[in-house]
Amino acid sequence: MLRYIYANQLTQYPDLQASMHRDRAAQFATRLKWDVTVDAKGWERDEYDDLNPLYVIWVNDDGTHGGSMRFLPTTERTMVEDHFSNLLNGTDIRSPFIWECTRFCLGQKSSPRIAAAMMLAGGELMRAFSLTHLLGVFDPRMVRIYSMIGASPEVLGSAGEGRDKISVGLWAFRPEDRRKVLRRAGLSSAISEHWFNRSFGRPVEQVPLAA
């Protein structure tokens, strides 16, 4: 099941919160060897988790984390602006219609279906908040996942080579992409919209911009 949860609501779901941050530590610190901070609890967190981002989380049947992404509006501070602006060739991406998506993390018992569901959720946010694009930083490992799911970005700039290559890209919203991702996730449009409605208390098309 997909849940859409703001950071200030996460304490209501302690098992989900703990397992998400521990899975992030396992993926980013242990497997990928990124220079990230892991605290005494084994949680990977950074400064952007303190900005009340919106998380999209796949919740396993036992209430633990299966996959997640983090979203922030580009009108505020973003990871791209603070750390990867050199990849944008001087372009300043700030718009109420573009949100940044970071920390794409899959749980240790994840599957291609869950990865597709996460991308589907990004599209539902674009529909709900009248977004034109999502902005994100990604590595070569994610290029294969995006291609497999059917939601590849427009690459704005890259640096590095091989496994160390880092890119910044934009994802547009296209109805045909949503249909592809729905099929890949094995989900119906109705169930996706039901999950969204359950989280926000209103249909996709009527969600306000304010958190």
Q: Give the CA angle between residues 86, 147, 23 to the nearest 5°.
A: 75
Per-residue pLDDT at 208: 58
Burial profile 99-112: b = 16 or more Cβ within 10 angstroms, e = fewer: bbbbbbbbbeebee
Q: Return all residues near 5 (Cβ < 8 A) that are at least 6 apart.
A: 13, 16, 54, 55, 57, 199
- Identify whether the C-beta of residue 158 lies closer than 8 Å to the C-beta of residue 165: yes
Mean pLDDT on 35-56? 97
Q: At 211, is the pLDDT very low, low, confident or very high (cuts 50, 70, 90)?
A: very low
- Arithmetic mean of pLDDT over the chain: 91
Q: Give the CA angle between residues 130, 180, 138 to the nearest 5°.
A: 70
- Taking the C-alpha atoms of residue 72 and residue 95, their distance in angstroms, rounded to an integer, is 11
Residue 39 has pLDDT above 50, yes or no: yes
**Helix, coil or strand: residue 32:** coil
Please tell me the pTM assigned to this model.
Answer: 0.92
Query: pLDDT (tens digit, 9 = 90+) per residue, 125-138?
Result: 999 999 999 999 98
Q: How is residue 185 annotated by DSSP?
A: H
Residue 107 has pLDDT above 80, yes or no: yes
